[in-house]
Amino acid sequence: MKSHYDKLFNETKQKVQQDNFEVDKLIDYKNDNRYGITLVIIPSQEVKDKIQIFLSELKKIEPNQYYYRNSDIHITVMSIISCYNGFNLTHIDVNDYVNIISKSIEGEMCFDIDFTGVTSSQSAIMIQGFLNE
């Protein structure tokens, strides 16, 4: 996983140095209709509070950036249906997706994730998470 994060950071660093980054122009748009389905893990309150401490330091450097509220902090496991304008749950059979995902994680053991370091993409700064084996 570390090599994945390092590769992502190095690729992003070059792009950002060339002012090649992505800005979500709809982030504050009230009529944003982009929706999708993502399998996420919600970290503990303790982890979210520590992330907020880190974010408060970033806000000192770049106060106008968008920052997640605690209620939005998550770990993306997998994008099921990528977000797009106009997606609606009425377009799919939600139970089919719930059943497939439930079967795929059935019997899985609990696991711990260590959050150590940061990386970035063209559109975000992310906390690095590593499976604690």
Q: Is the pTM of this model over 0.75?
A: yes
Asked which of 23-32, 60-69, 83-92, 116-125 is least confident by mean pLDDT, the reply is 23-32
pLDDT the model gives residue 16: 84
pLDDT band at 107 (very low <50, low <70, confident <90, very high): confident
What confidence tier does 111 reach under pLDDT thresholds 50, 70, 90? confident
Per-residue pLDDT reduced to its tens digit, 59-91: 999 898 889 999 999 999 999 999 999 999 999
Are 67 and 28 contacting, i.e. CB atoms less than 8 angstroms apart? no
Q: How far apart are CA 131 and CA 133, in angstroms?
A: 6
Percent of the chain with pLDDT over 90: 57
pLDDT over threshold 80, residue 21:
no
**What residue type is 98 in one-letter code?**
V
